[in-house]
Amino acid sequence: MIGVLASPSEHEIVREFFELFKTPWEFHRLHGRYEVVLCAQDIGMAELSNYAAGLVVIYSGRRLSLDENAGVESRKHGGEACILQCGEFRIPVYGEHLLFGDGPVRESPPCATHFSELAGRKMVRVGYDLFSEIRTLLTTGQPKSNAAIPTLDLHISLLRDMIIGSGVTLVEIPPVPNGYRFIACLTHDVDHPMIRRHKFDRTMFGFLYRATFGSILKAFRGRMAWRDVWRNSAAALKLPLVHLGRVKDYWCELDQYVAMEAGARSSFFVIPFAGRPGMTATGTAPSARAARYGAFDISSQIERLTFAGCEIGLHGIDAWVDSCKAKNELDEIRKIAGLQEVGVRMHWLYFDEHSPMVLEQAGASYDSTVGYNETIGYRAGTTQAYAPPGTSHLIELPLHVMDTALFFPGHLGLSSEEARTRVRQMIDNAVRFGGCLTVNWHDRSIAPERLWGEFYVSLVAELEAQGAWLATAGHAVSWFRKRRAANIENIRQQSGGLDGQIANQSPDDLPGLHLSVHRGRKQCQESSI
């Protein structure tokens, strides 16, 4: 059991942190029995003597009165964000922090942990404010310069490593569905389901340029196969026939995803109303944000997708900023898709720190907007779904990989091989940390002029080969809710080590949870429940 000392203003973040690091804990009681005390406030020698624990872990980015008694030499390292060395982990830190030791700061990441013994117990001093860092990640998020680093998951790994490295046994429910290595969500933002609705507008002319001159330039640069140049050129020549209704609309390919995903169920986020650009934080959004279709216009496709087991969600316009408009948008999707529980991803990823409360008030089941337009990675620093601060029911399922971020020249502009390398690094992180890797492949991305379907098929195959549970966003959120509701009970010492069981598992068709038992020196025993 971990006893946590923190100021009341941090209690909400503390609770959420231990929903992500699912191990027995409670707020510290004076006469409580703990193997570990985690302290996030200033303490002195007299207080330390009251903590009946073999290990005390103290987080603070400020010099504490206890540091002098413990012989901890530290120095301020400015107020700017930087990457710190914490044991074997390199962790970005965004608030104030200390470095330990009296040597000069070198090019390698400076050390922010200090191990010692004091008053008969082991003590680890960590030179930043843990729960302040967690709050930053779950509200502001990380800059794109650190997008590739799962920072929150590293904070959990560091704490786990310090505990089991001190010889304390730890039990937890990891964010891994029983029988799998991680979760993968296949999602699709439906922005342009019909090219015939684009006549002499920016989208049509952009398509014609990219399908002809743009494709030829890519081929000369080795970024596109010549066979795809011919496919794009043929599509450009056929465009007048598409508008006349003589040739099938080659952007109308939502059903194709069902075949490409080979039995996996995916989520489609659909725009509710045509012709509405929506609002920014300061005024009207650019006119290009307005869609040329609404959910009603593709109701027959929505029906077929639902019949195939896919999920329909809201691709919101103003839902991020106005709860009344959010309710209207959600109701439109509920009416057309025949659903009660509807999740959200905002069009163009419009979002701010108040959006979770707005969406919760409107009745959204979950949100999956928190990610990057211009790169791939971990905006919230985690592979896990979480409850944003200020909410009581809404769950955020972060977005990690988006096709346009990978391939658009104005963003990463990667080749297929470069993109495969970058995505594989994120799959490796999902295998390491568990949680969910959320992928967004837009509706038109498998059609001319993008032709990113071959990459997508290989990505789905790779996720499956690496042991992912391929789930809709709604099912992934339901699994995380199941984990959040569970408790570890009846922990007891046995001849082979600790044992316990997971309580509050309601029967459902979701993968189960399992219990991990970690003993000193990172030895780990697992049992399925």
Residue-level pLDDT at 107? 44
Say if residue 336's pLDDT is above 60.
yes
Same domain, 160 and 234: no
pLDDT band at residue 527 under the 50/70/90 scheme: very low
Domain match, 232 and 132 both: no
Same domain for 59 and 190, yes or no, is no
Q: What mean pLDDT is predicted for residues 220-230?
A: 91
Do 8 and 155 belong to one domain? yes
Q: Which residue has the higher pLDDT, 41 or 171?
A: 171
Mean of the pLDDT values across residues 43-69? Answer: 75
Please tell me whether residues 126 and 83 are part of one structural domain.
yes
Q: What's the rounded mean pLDDT across residues 475-490? A: 90
Residue 282 resides in a domain? yes
What is the mean pLDDT of the segment spanning 411-429?
95
Residue 132 lies in a domain: yes
Which percentage of the chain shows pLDDT scores above 70? 88
Q: Label residue 461 by pLDDT band (50, 70, 90).
A: very high
- How does pLDDT run across 261-290, given as a tens digit for each residue? 988 999 999 999 999 999 998 899 999 999
pLDDT value at 390 more than 90? yes
Q: Is the same domain home to 244 and 273?
A: no
**Choice among 69-78, 85-94, 283-292, 367-376 with the minimum mean pLDDT:** 69-78
* pLDDT band, residue 505 (cuts 50/70/90): low
- Which pLDDT value is given to residue 44? 60
pLDDT at site 307: 94
**One-letter amino acid of 29:** R
Q: Which pLDDT does position 18 carry in this prediction?
A: 97
Short-list 372, 352, 344, CA closest to 272: 344
Domain final residue pick, 465, 480, 495: 480
User: Is residue 512 one of the residues assigned to a domain?
Assistant: no
Q: Does 64 fall in a domain?
A: yes
Residues 459 and 366 in one domain: yes
> Are residue 17 and residue 118 in the same domain, yes or no?
yes
Per-residue confidence band for 73, with pLDDT thresholds at 50, 70 and 90? low
Percent of the chain clearing pLDDT 90 (strictly above): 70
First-to-last C-alpha distance (Å) of the chain: 20
- List the structure tokens of 405: 């971020």
Q: Is the pLDDT of residue 14 over 70?
A: yes
> Residue 50 sits in a domain of what CATH number?
3.40.50
pTM of the predicted structure, to 2 decimals: 0.91
Q: What does the pLDDT look like over 291-306, one tens digit per residue?
A: 999 999 999 999 999 9
Does 529 map to a domain?
no
Can you tell me the mean pLDDT for 127-137? 94
pLDDT band at 427 (very low <50, low <70, confident <90, very high): very high
Question: What Å distances lie between residue 236 and 198, 199, 249, CA to CA?
Answer: 13, 13, 12
- The count of structural domains within the chain is 3
* Among the ranges given (112-121, 140-149, 191-200), the one the predictor scored with the smallest mean pLDDT: 112-121
In terms of domains, do 310 and 378 share one?
Answer: yes
Question: What is the residue range of 203's domain?
Answer: 195-250
Q: What is the pLDDT of residue 206?
A: 94
Cβ-defined contacts of 26-35 (< 8 Å, 24+): 26/1, 26/2, 27/3, 28/3, 28/4, 29/3, 32/1, 32/3, 33/1, 34/1, 34/2, 34/3, 35/1, 35/2, 35/163, 35/168, 35/169
Predicted confidence at residue 221, as pLDDT, reads 87
Query: Can you give the pLDDT at residue 78?
Result: 59
Pair (257, 216) in one structural domain: no
pLDDT in tens, 16-52: 999 999 999 999 887 778 889 999 877 665 566 667 7
Check whether 509 has a pLDDT greater than 90: no
In a domain, 510, yes or no: no
| Tokens found for residue 432 | 């390491």
Confidence of residue 76 (pLDDT cuts 50, 70, 90): low
Residues 6+ apart with CB under 8 A from 514: 173, 174, 176, 178, 502, 526, 527, 528, 529
Query: Which residues is 171 bridged to in the sheet?
Result: 517
Please state, rounded to an integer, the average pLDDT across all residues of the chain. 89
Q: Is the peptide bond before 133 cis (omega within 30 degrees of 0)?
A: no
Same domain, 286 and 401: yes
Q: Is residue 24 situated within a structural domain?
A: yes
At 149 the pLDDT is: 96
Tell me, yes or no, whether 20 and 119 share the same domain: yes
Going by pLDDT thresholds of 50, 70 and 90, the confidence category of residue 88 is confident
Confirm whether 499 is domain-assigned: no
